[in-house]
C-alpha cells in the first residue's frame, strides 16, 4: 500500500519535473528568438554579450517562478518575513560568490586576466545561472545540503537527482566547449568565451532533457532515503 | 620462461624502439644529396665533350641575363594567373602570357606546401627530406649548395624585400634587405606596401644583379577569407601593377646594356579551396611560373600553352641564366624554352652541364646507377655531342650540323627527364616494406605488453612469458617460412631501394625470427587470458569496487590526449591540452579532498541510489583491476574519512588549500612562456623579464628562485649534499652573472661578459658529486640489502642532482618553472597523495601529466625551433658533440625528467613508509605525521 503510494508520488514528481524542464528549455529557446524582434542586429554570435544577459535573466526568472509555483520541497514550518528576507539576501550573496568563484576558476584555467574581463565574467554569470540558481532554489543557502547532493550517494529526491544531472552536464558542456578553441578553423564561434557558453548552454539543455528520461528509465532501481 | 616485471618491461621497450627505428627508416627516406655538399669550393665545370679533336671551351658559359628579378607571391595558385581570375584582374600579366616575350609554366610543388621548404626547393633545386630538420638543427641557415650562395660567391649583388624567411635562410647574402613577418595574418596591405615602397628607388638605382621580392598579402587573404574572396581580385590587380612597373623599368634599362634581363613570377605554393595550404591537393601544389625576358621574343601567332614542370626546375634554370654552376643537389632539369633562342653550341653545352650534374648526383645516391636508363641515355648523348663538336669544329655544312644538333638535343632532353624523374622518385618514396615490418613489431610488442599487465603488476611482480614453448611449435616455423618467402619475393621484385633488403641476410632473418616469435607469444598469451577470463567471469560477478571520478578522468584524459593528436592544430597547440588537463586534474583533486575532509559531511555508507548495470562496459576491466592490483593499492582499503581528525589544524588547511595553490602556480607558469603557433606572439612574462630594461627584476627573481630551490630541496638531503647544493646554487648565480644575464648588487654596469666556463664547471663538480653520492647509496642498498631507507636517500640525492643541473641549464627567466615544479611536487606529495592515499597507478599518471605540462611551461613546443641550443654550450669552450647533445636534451626535457625522478623517489619513500608502518603498527602517528623516512633514518 505504502509502496504503491510512493510509486505514484514518484511518477507525478517525474511528470512535474518533465514539465518544469520543458519550460526551462522553452525559456532558453525564446531567449534566442524573441529579442530579435525588439533589437536590431541581434544574433547569438554577433551580440553575444546581450544574449548572455538575456538568457541568464530569463533562465533565472523561469527558475524562480517555477520554484514558487511548484514548491518541490514543501517546507513545513512557516517562516517569518525577516527569515525570508535574510534567506533571499543570503541567496543573492551566494550567487555573487559563485559568479566570482567561477570567474577565478576560468582565469586559473587560462582565460586572459585583464582583457575580455566582461566576457569572462558574463560567462561566469551564465554558468552560475545554469548551476547555482537551481541549487539555491531547491536547496537554499545551505552548504551542507549542497555537499550532500553532490557527493556520491547523497540524493534524497527526484528533484535533487535531476539537479545533480543538470548541474554536472552544464559543467561538462562548458568544459567540452573549450576544446574547439585551439583548432584553426577560424570560425566566429571559436572565440573565447563563445564556444564555452554555447557548450554550457547545450550541456544544460541536454541535462534538462536527459534527467527526467533517465530518472524515469531507472525509477525501479532508484530508492531514496526517506528523511 | 619466468621474468621479473622490470626485465620484461625493459625488453619490451628495447624491441619497441627497434620497431620504431625500422618504421622511421622507411618513413623518412634519406634525402638525395651530393656527398661533397658541405664544401663550397667551386669544382671545375665539366668541359665540353669532344671526340678526338680538342675543344677549348672548358670555362662556364657566360650569363644569359644581366639582371634577374624574382617576384614570389605567396600562395599564388596557377588559375590566379592563367585562369579566369588572371584575365580579369591581371591584364598586363595575361598580355605577357599570351602575346609577350615570355614562357609560362605550371610548376608543381612537392608537399609539405609551406613557405620555407618551398623556398629551399626553389633555390637549391632539391626536395628537402624530413631528415634535413635534424641535420641542421644548429642553424636555420641554408647550408646546402644553392643559387643564392653561388651568386654571392660570383660577386653578384642581391637584394631581398619581403618575407623574412629569406633573411633567415640566407644570412649575410643580401647587400640590402627588409624582412616582413607573417605573424599578423589579418594584415594584408601593409606587408606588401613594405615591399613595394622600395621598388621605385631600387629600380632606378640599378646597382644590383638579383632582386627578390616576396609578397605575403595574398597568402594572408587566403588564410582569412579563402580563395573566392573579393579581396583576392584587388590583391591580384595590385600585383599586376607591380609586375608592370618592374617590367617597364627593366625594358627601359635594357636599352643601355647588352644583355637582356629576366623577370620571374612564381608562387611558392598554391591555396586550397578553404584558403589554407600545407597538404598535397592539386590546388595546393599547382603554382604558376612565368619567365619574362626580351630574349624570349616570339613571332605573332606563336601560341605557347603553360607546360607542367617541377618547381625544382627553376634552380637549374636560374643558375644557367646567371652563368653559375648548377647547385649540386638539384634534381630539377633546365627549362629548355629559356635557352631555345641561343646558338646550337651553347644550347648543347647547357644541357650537357645539367646532365653531368644530375648524373653525378645519381652516381652518389643510387648504388646500381649503371643500370638506370637515364645513365645510359646520358652516355649516348655525350658521345653524340662529342661527334657534333668535331663536326662543328671542322666547320661542316650547316644543314647537317643542324640536323645532328637537333638529334643530340632531343637525346639530351630525354636523358634529363629520365634522370630527374628517377632522382625525385628516390626522394618521394616511402619504403613501405620496412614501414610495415616496423609497425608489425611495434603492435605485437604492444599487445603482448597489454596482455601481460595484470600478471606483471601482481604481487609477485614477475610473469610467465610464453616464449620457449611457442618457439618449438609448428606455428612459429610456419610463420617464419612464410615471412622469409615474402621477404625474398619483395626484395627481388621491387626496383626501388629498400632498407630491409639492403641488410645482410642474417640480420633480415633475425628480424623475421623476432616477428614470428612475438606473434606466437601474443597468440599464446591471448589464449591464456581468454581461458582465465572465462574462469573469472564465473566467480567474480559481484565486485563492488567502482572507479572513482579521478580514475575516470585520468583514463579519459590520457585517451583523449592521444586522440587529439589526430588533428594538426591540436599538435601545434598541445600545451593547451596539457594545461587544460592539469587544471581539471587539480579541480578533481579539490573535489576529492573536499568530499573527504570538509566538516559536517558524514560519509557513512548510504544505501541509496543503487544503479545496476550502469557500468556494464567497464566490468571486465574492473575485474582485471580487482584481481591483479593487490600490490598496487597502497593501503587503499582503509581509506577512512576520519583520517582528518588525526591531521593537525595547519595541515588540514594546507590540504584544503593545496589544489588552489597548485592551480595558481600553473596559471602563473602559463603566462611565463607563450608557445605554440596561434598565440605564440602574445606578450608574456618571459619576454618582459629578458628585456634589458628589467635586468634588476630578473636578478632579484633569479636569486629568490635559487634560494627557494635550496629551501625546498635541502630538507631530505644528507648534510654533505646540503652544502654541495648551496654552493652549487651559488655557483649558478655566479655563472649567470658572469655571462651577463643577471647582475650582482655591487656591480651596476655589465662591464665584462665572459663565457663563464669556470663558474659553470664549478657547478658541474657539485652536480657530479651529488649524483655520485646518490648512486653510491643506491648501489649500497642493492648490495648490502640495507632496506628502503638508504635507497630512498639515494634516489632523493639523484633527484637533487638533477635539480641542480636544471638550475644551471635553464635560462634565468625559467628558474620559476623549476621552483614551482618543486613546490607543486612537495605540496602534492605531502598534502594530496599521502593523505588521500592515491594508488601507484594514479600517482604515476599524475606525474606524467605534470611532466608534460612542465615541458611546455618551459617554453617548449612541438616546433623544433623552440629548442634552446644555448644550453649545450654551458661550461664548454667549443662545440663538443656528445656533451652538447646531452645537455641540450636535458635542458629541453627538464620538466618530464624531474617529474619522472620525483616519481621514483616518491614511490620508493612510500614503499619504505609502508614497510615501516607494518613493523610499527602501534604508533600510527608516526605514519600520518608525514615525517619523511629519510629524516628518521638520519636522526
Determine whether the interchain pair A224/B608 forms a contact, defined as Cβ–Cβ distance below 8 Å.
Answer: yes
Question: What is the reported pLDDT for B241?
Answer: 92
B611: nearest CB among A105, A186, A221: A221
Dihedral angle at the C-alpha atoms of B796, B802, B807, B809, nearest 10 degrees? 180
How far apart (Å, rounded) are the C-alpha atoms in residues B871 and B137?
A: 14
Q: Which of B28-32, B157-161, B221-225, B267-271 has the lowest mean pLDDT?
A: B28-32
Which residue, among B197, B217, B208, B290, has the nearest Cα to B250 in the 3D structure?
A: B208
Instruction: Give percent above pLDDT 90 in chain B.
Output: 23
- Range from A89-103, B317-331, B777-791 that averages highest in pLDDT: A89-103
Say what angle helices A48-70 and A2-33 make with each other, to 10 degrees: 150
Determine whether the interchain pair A184/B664 forms a contact, defined as Cβ–Cβ distance below 8 Å.
Answer: no
Q: Fill in the DSSP letter of residue B606.
A: P
Inform me whether the pLDDT recorded for B805 exceeds 90. yes
Q: How many Cα atoms within 13 Å fall on the side-chain side of residue B800? A: 32
Contact list in B for residue A161 (CB cut-off 8 A) is 609
Question: What is the reported pLDDT for A12?
Answer: 84
Q: Does B583 touch chain A (CB under 8 A)?
A: yes
Question: What is the reported pLDDT for B626?
Answer: 38
Residue B291 burial by CB count (10 A; 0-12/13-18/19+): exposed, middle or buried? buried
**Which helix H or strand E contains B71, and what residues bound it?**
strand B68-73
Inform me whether the pLDDT recorded for B60 exceeds 50. yes
Q: How confident is the model at residue B195 (pLDDT cuts 50, 70, 90)?
A: confident
Inform me whether the pLDDT recorded for B272 exceeds 50. yes
* Mean of pLDDT values over B546-561: 87
> What residues of chain B, 604 to 663, have a C-beta less than 8 Å from chain A?
605-612, 663
How far apart (Å, rounded) are the C-alpha atoms in residues A25 and A169?
A: 14
Which pLDDT tens digit goes with each residue over B110-124? 877 778 788 888 898
Per the DSSP assignment, residues forming a β-bridge with B283 are none
How far apart (Å, rounded) are the C-alpha atoms in residues A50 and B226?
A: 30
Q: How confident is the model at residue A204 (pLDDT cuts 50, 70, 90)?
A: very high
Would you state the cell numbers that stand for residue B610, as one nine-digit string?
A: 543503487
Question: What is the reported pLDDT for B373?
Answer: 83
Determine whether the interchain pair A181/B576 forms a contact, defined as Cβ–Cβ distance below 8 Å.
Answer: yes
* Mean of pLDDT values over B806-829: 93
- Range from B30-34, B207-211, B713-717 that averages highest in pLDDT: B207-211
How far apart (Å, rounded) are the C-alpha atoms in residues A135 and A129?
A: 10
Residue indicated by cell numbers 644570412: B171
Work out the angle at residue B107's Cα, subtended by the Cα atoms of residues B103 and B112, and round it to the nearest 5 degrees. Answer: 160
How far apart (Å, rounded) are the C-alpha atoms in residues B358 and B378?
A: 10
Asked if residues B870 and B830 have their Cβ atoms less than 8 Å apart, the reply is: no
Per the DSSP assignment, residues forming a β-bridge with B210 are B68, B158
Determine whether the interchain pair A108/B666 forms a contact, defined as Cβ–Cβ distance below 8 Å.
Answer: yes
Residues in CB range of B458: below 8 A, 6 or more apart: B628, B630, B631
Contact list in B for residue A110 (CB cut-off 8 A) is 576, 579-580, 583, 667, 670
Min Cα distance B671 → chain A (Å) is 8
Asked if residues B559 and B505 have their Cβ atoms less than 8 Å apart, the reply is: no
- Which residue did the predictor score with more confidence, B719 or B186? B719
Q: Does B400 touch chain A (CB under 8 A)?
A: no
Inform me whether the pLDDT recorded for B903 exceeds 90. yes
Asked if residues B786 and B780 have their Cβ atoms less than 8 Å apart, the reply is: yes
Q: Does B578 touch chain A (CB under 8 A)?
A: no
Inform me whether the pLDDT recorded for A220 exceeds 50. yes
- How many C-beta neighbours within 10 Å does residue B443 have? 13
Question: What is the reported pLDDT for B30?
Answer: 64
Q: Which of A101, A106, A109, A161 to mutate to test the interface with B (most CBs of B within 10 A)?
A: A109
- Which residue did the predictor score with more confidence, A136 or B870? A136
Question: What is the reported pLDDT for B625?
Answer: 38
How far apart (Å, rounded) are the C-alpha atoms in residues B790 and B808?
A: 27
Using DSSP's 3-state secondary structure scheme, residue B106 falls into strand
Strand stretches in B114-182, DSSP E: 158-163, 176-180
**Which helix H or strand E contains B102, and what residues bound it?**
strand B102-108
Buried b (16+ CB within 10 A) or exposed e, B276-290: bbeeebebbbbbbbb
Which residue, among B557, B393, B521, B364, has the nearest Cα to B449 in the 3D structure?
A: B521
Determine whether the interchain pair A147/B600 forms a contact, defined as Cβ–Cβ distance below 8 Å.
Answer: yes
Determine whether the interchain pair A182/B603 forms a contact, defined as Cβ–Cβ distance below 8 Å.
Answer: no
Asked if residues B830 and B902 have their Cβ atoms less than 8 Å apart, the reply is: no
Per the DSSP assignment, residues forming a β-bridge with B178 are B161
* Mean of pLDDT values over A103-120: 91
* Mean of pLDDT values over B298-324: 86
Average pLDDT of chain B, as a whole number: 80
A221: nearest CB among B576, B603, B610: B610
Q: Which of A215-219, B153-157, B915-919 has the lowest mean pLDDT?
A: B915-919
Question: What is the reported pLDDT for B547?
Answer: 72
Work out the angle at residue B550's Cα, subtended by the Cα atoms of residues B548 and B555, and round it to the nearest 5 degrees. Answer: 100
Determine whether the interchain pair B609/A153 forms a contact, defined as Cβ–Cβ distance below 8 Å.
Answer: yes
Q: How far is CA B746 from the centre of its chain?
A: 43
B580: nearest CB among A109, A144, A154: A109
Say what angle helices B649-670 and B840-857 make with each other, to 10 degrees: 40
Determine whether the interchain pair A147/B605 forms a contact, defined as Cβ–Cβ distance below 8 Å.
Answer: no
- Range from A49-63, B39-53, B472-486 that averages highest in pLDDT: A49-63
Question: What is the reported pLDDT for A58?
Answer: 92
Inform me whether the pLDDT recorded for B509 exceeds 60. yes
Which pLDDT tens digit goes with each residue over B734-755? 998 888 888 887 776 655 667 7
A223: nearest CB among B605, B608, B678: B608
- With a threshold of 0.80, does the pTM exceed it? no
* Mean of pLDDT values over B615-633: 36
Q: Which of A184, A210, A221 to mutate to test the interface with B (most CBs of B within 10 A)?
A: A184
Per the DSSP assignment, residues forming a β-bridge with B215 are B73
Which residue, among B559, B546, B547, B549, has the nearest Cα to B584 in the 3D structure?
A: B549
Contact list in B for residue A192 (CB cut-off 8 A) is none
Inform me whether the pLDDT recorded for B683 exceeds 90. no
Q: ipTM value, please give it.
A: 0.92
- Which residue did the predictor score with more confidence, B866 or B831? B831
Name the interface residues of A facing B (CB cutoff 8 Å).
105, 107-110, 113, 144, 147-148, 151-156, 161, 175, 178, 181-184, 186, 218, 221-225
Question: What is the reported pLDDT for B338?
Answer: 87
Min Cα distance A221 → chain B (Å) is 6
- The residue of chain A with its CA nearest to that of B576 is A182
Question: What is the reported pLDDT for B880?
Answer: 74
* Mean of pLDDT values over B86-102: 88
Question: What is the reported pLDDT for B636?
Answer: 38
A109: nearest CB among B223, B583, B609: B583
Q: Does B224 touch chain A (CB under 8 A)?
A: yes
* Mean of pLDDT values over B593-622: 45
Instruction: Give percent above pLDDT 70 in chain B.
Output: 82
DSSP string computed for B731-771: HHHHHHHHTTSS--TT--S-------HHHHHHHHHHHHHHH
Which pLDDT tens digit goes with each residue over B8-38? 888 889 999 999 988 888 877 666 666 654 4
A147: nearest CB among B572, B598, B663: B598
* Mean of pLDDT values over B427-451: 84
Question: What is the reported pLDDT for B36?
Answer: 55
Q: How confident is the model at residue B703 (pLDDT cuts 50, 70, 90)?
A: very high
Inform me whether the pLDDT recorded for B641 exceeds 50. no
* Mean of pLDDT values over A61-89: 79
Would you state the cell numbers that stand for residue B104, as one nine-digit string?
A: 609560362
Question: What is the reported pLDDT for B55?
Answer: 60
Buried b (16+ CB within 10 A) or exposed e, B644-672: beebeeebbebbbebbebbbebbbebbeb
Which pLDDT tens digit goes with each residue over B359-416? 888 887 776 777 778 888 888 888 888 888 888 888 777 788 888 888 888 998 999 8
Amino acid at each position: 500500500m505504502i509502496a504503491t503510494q510512493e510509486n505514484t508520488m514518484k511518477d507525478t514528481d517525474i511528470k512535474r519535473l518533465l514539465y518544469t524542464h520543458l519550460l526551462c528549455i522553452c525559456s532558453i529557446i525564446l531567449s534566442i528568438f524573441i529579442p530579435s524582434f525588439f533589437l536590431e542586429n541581434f544574433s547569438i554570435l554577433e551580440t553575444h554579450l546581450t544574449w548572455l544577459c538575456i538568457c541568464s535573466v530569463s533562465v533565472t526568472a523561469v527558475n524562480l517562478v517555477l520554484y514558487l509555483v511548484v514548491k518541490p520541497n514543501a517546507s513545513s514550518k512557516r517562516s517569518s518575513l525577516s527569515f525570508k528576507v535574510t534567506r533571499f539576501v543570503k541567496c543573492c550573496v551566494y550567487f555573487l560568490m559563485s559568479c566570482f568563484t567561477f570567474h577565478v576558476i576560468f582565469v586559473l584555467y587560462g582565460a586572459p586576466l585583464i582583457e575580455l574581463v566582461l566576457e569572462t565574467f558574463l560567462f561566469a554569470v551564465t554558468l552560475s545561472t545554469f548551476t547555482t540558481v537551481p541549487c539555491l532554489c531547491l536547496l537554499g543557502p545551505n552548504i551542507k545540503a549542497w555537499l550532500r547532493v553532490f557527493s556520491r550517494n547523497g540524493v534524497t529526491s527526484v528533484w535533487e537527482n535531476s539537479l545533480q544531472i543538470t548541474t554536472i552536464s552544464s559543467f561538462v558542456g562548458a568544459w567540452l566547449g573549450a576544446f574547439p578553441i585551439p583548432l584553426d578553423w577560424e570560425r566566429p564561434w571559436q572565440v573565447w568565451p563563445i564556444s564555452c557558453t554555447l557548450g554550457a548552454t547545450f550541456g544544460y539543455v541536454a541535462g534538462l532533457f536527459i534527467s527526467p528520461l533517465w530518472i524515469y528509465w531507472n525509477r525501479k532501481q532508484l530508492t531514496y532515503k526517506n528523511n | 620462461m619466468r621474468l621479473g616485471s622490470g626485465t620484461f618491461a625493459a625488453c619490451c621497450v628495447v624491441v619497441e624502439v627497434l620497431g620504431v627505428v625500422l618504421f622511421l627508416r622507411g618513413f623518412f627516406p634519406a634525402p638525395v644529396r651530393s656527398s661533397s655538399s658541405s664544401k663550397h669550393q667551386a669544382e671545375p665545370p665539366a668541359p665540353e665533350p669532344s671526340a678526338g679533336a680538342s675543344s677549348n671551351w672548358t670555362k662556364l658559359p657566360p650569363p644569359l641575363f644581366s639582371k634577374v628579378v624574382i617576384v614570389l607571391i605567396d600562395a599564388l595558385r596557377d588559375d590566379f594567373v592563367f585562369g579566369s581570375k588572371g584575365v580579369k584582374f591581371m591584364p598586363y600579366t595575361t598580355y605577357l602570357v599570351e602575346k609577350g616575350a615570355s614562357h609560362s609554366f605550371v610548376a608543381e610543388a612537392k608537399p609539405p606546401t609551406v613557405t620555407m621548404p618551398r623556398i629551399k626547393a626553389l633555390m637549391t633545386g632539391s626536395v628537402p627530406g624530413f631528415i634535413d630538420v635534424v641535420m641542421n638543427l644548429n642553424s636555420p641557415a641554408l647550408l646546402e649548395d644553392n643559387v643564392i650562395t653561388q651568386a654571392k660567391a660570383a660577386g653578384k649583388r642581391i637584394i631581398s624585400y619581403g618575407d623574412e624567411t629569406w633573411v633567415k635562410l640566407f644570412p649575410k647574402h643580401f647587400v640590402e634587405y627588409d624582412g616582413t613577418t607573417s605573424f599578423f595574418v589579418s594584415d594584408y596591405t601593409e606587408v606588401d606596401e613594405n615591399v613595394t615602397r622600395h621598388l621605385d628607388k631600387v629600380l632606378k638605382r640599378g646597382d644590383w644583379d638579383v632582386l627578390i621580392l616576396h609578397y605575403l598579402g595574398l597568402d594572408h587573404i587566403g588564410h582569412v577569407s579563402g580563395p573566392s574572396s573579393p579581396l583576392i581580385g584587388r590583391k591580384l590587380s595590385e600585383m599586376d601593377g607591380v609586375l608592370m612597373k618592374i617590367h617597364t623599368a627593366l625594358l627601359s634599362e635594357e636599352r643601355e646594356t647588352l644583355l637582356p634581363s629576366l623577370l620571374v613570377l612564381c608562387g611558392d605554393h598554391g591555396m586550397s579551396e578553404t584558403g589554407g595550404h600545407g597538404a598535397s591537393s592539386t590546388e595546393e601544389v599547382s603554382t604558376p611560373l612565368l619567365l619574362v625576358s626580351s630574349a624570349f621574343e616570339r613571332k605573332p601567332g606563336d601560341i605557347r600553352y603553360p607546360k607542367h614542370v617541377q618547381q625544382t626546375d627553376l634552380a637549374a634554370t636560374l643558375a644557367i641564366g646567371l652563368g653559375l654552376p648548377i647547385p649540386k643537389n638539384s634534381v630539377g632539369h633546365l627549362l629548355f624554352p629559356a635557352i631555345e633562342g641561343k646558338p646550337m653550341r651553347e644550347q648543347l653545352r647547357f644541357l650537357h652541364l645539367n646532365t653531368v650534374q644530375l648524373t653525378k648526383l645519381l652516381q652518389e645516391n643510387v648504388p646500381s646507377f649503371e643500370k638506370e636508363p637515364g645513365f645510359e641515355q646520358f652516355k649516348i648523348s655525350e658521345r653524340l655531342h662529342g661527334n657534333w663538336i668535331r663536326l662543328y669544329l671542322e666547320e661542316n655544312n650547316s644543314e647537317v650540323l643542324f640536323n645532328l644538333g637537333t638529334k643530340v638535343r632531343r637525346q639530351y632532353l630525354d636523358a634529363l627527364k629520365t634522370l630527374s624523374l628517377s632522382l625525385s622518385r628516390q626522394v618521394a618514396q616511402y619504403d613501405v616494406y620496412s614501414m610495415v615490418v616496423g609497425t608489425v613489431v611495434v603492435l605485437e610488442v604492444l599487445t603482448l605488453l597489454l596482455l601481460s599487465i595484470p600478471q606483471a603488476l601482481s604481487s609477485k611482480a614477475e610473469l610467465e612469458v610464453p616464449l620457449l614453448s611457442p618457439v618449438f611449435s609448428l606455428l612459429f616455423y610456419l610463420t617464419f617460412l612464410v615471412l622469409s618467402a615474402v621477404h625474398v619475393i619483395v626484395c627481388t621484385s621491387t626496383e626501388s631501394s629498400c632498407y630491409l633488403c639492403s641488410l645482410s641476410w642474417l640480420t633480415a632473418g633475425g628480424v623475421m625470427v623476432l616477428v614470428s616469435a612475438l606473434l606466437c607469444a601474443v597468440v599464446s598469451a591471448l589464449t591464456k587470458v581468454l581461458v582465465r577470463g572465462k574462469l573469472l567471469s564465473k566467480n567474480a560477478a559481484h565486485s563492488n569496487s567502482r572507479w572513482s571520478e579521478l580514475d575516470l578522468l585520468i583514463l579519459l584524459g590520457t585517451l583523449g590526449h592521444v586522440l587529439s593528436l589526430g588533428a594538426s592544430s591540436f599538435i601545434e597547440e598541445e600545451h593547451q591540452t596539457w594545461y587544460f588537463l592539469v587544471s581539471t586534474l587539480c579541480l578533481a583533486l579539490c573535489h576529492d579532498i573536499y568530499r573527504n575532509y570538509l566538516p559536517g559531511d558524514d560519509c557513512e555508507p548510504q544505501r541509496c541510489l543503487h544503479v545496476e548495470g550502469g557500468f556494464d562496459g567497464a566490468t571486465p576491466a574492473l575485474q582485471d583491476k580487482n584481481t591483479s592490483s593487490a600490490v598496487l593499492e597502497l593501503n587503499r582499503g582503509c581509506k577512512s574519512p576520519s583520517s582528518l581528525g588525526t591531521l593537525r589544524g595547519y595541515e588540514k588547511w594546507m590540504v584544503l588549500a593545496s589544489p588552489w595553490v597548485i592551480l595558481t602556480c600553473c596559471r602563473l607558469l602559463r603566462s611565463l612562456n607563450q608557445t605554440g603557433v596561434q598565440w605564440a606572439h602574445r606578450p608574456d612574462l618571459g619576454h618582459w623579464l629578458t628585456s634589458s630594461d628589467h635586468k634588476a627584476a630578473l636578478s632579484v627573481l633569479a636569486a629568490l628562485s635559487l634560494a627557494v630551490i635550496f629551501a625546498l630541496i635541502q630538507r631530505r638531503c644528507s648534510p654533505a649534499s646540503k652544502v654541495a647544493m648551496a654552493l652549487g646554487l651559488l655557483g649558478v648565480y655566479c655563472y649567470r652573472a658572469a655571462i651577463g644575464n643577471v647582475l650582482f648588487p655591487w656591480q651596476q654596469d655589465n662591464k665584462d661578459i665572459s663565457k663563464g666556463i669556470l663558474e659553470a664547471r664549478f657547478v658541474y663538480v657539485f652536480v657530479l658529486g651529488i649524483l655520485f653520492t646518490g648512486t653510491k647509496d643506491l648501489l649500497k642498498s642493492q648490495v648490502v640489502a640495507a632496506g628502503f631507507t638508504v635507497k630512498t636517500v639515494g634516489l632523493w640525492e639523484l633527484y637533487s642532482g638533477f635539480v641542480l643541473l636544471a638550475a644551471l641549464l635553464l635560462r634565468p627567466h625559467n628558474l620559476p618553472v623549476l621552483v614551482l615544479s618543486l613546490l607543486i611536487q612537495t605540496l602534492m606529495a605531502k598534502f594530496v597523495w599521502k593523505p588521500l592515499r592515491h594508488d601507484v597507478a594514479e600517482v604515476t599518471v599524475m606525474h606524467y601529466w605534470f611532466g608534460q605540462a612542465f615541458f611546455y611551461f618551459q617554453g617548449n613546443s612541438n616546433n623544433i625551433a623552440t629548442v634552446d641550443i644555448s644550453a649545450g654550450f654551458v661550461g664548454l669552450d667549443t662545440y663538443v658533440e656528445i656533451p652538447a647533445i646531452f645537455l641540450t636534451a636535458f635542458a629541453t626535457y627538464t620538466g618530464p625528467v624531474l617529474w619522472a625522478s620525483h616519481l621514483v623517489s616518491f614511490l620508493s619513500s612510500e614503499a619504505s613508509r609502508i614497510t615501516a608502518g607494518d613493523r610499527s603498527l602501534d604508533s600510527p602517528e608516526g605514519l600520518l605525521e608525514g615525517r619523511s623516512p629519510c629524516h628518521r633514518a638520519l636522526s
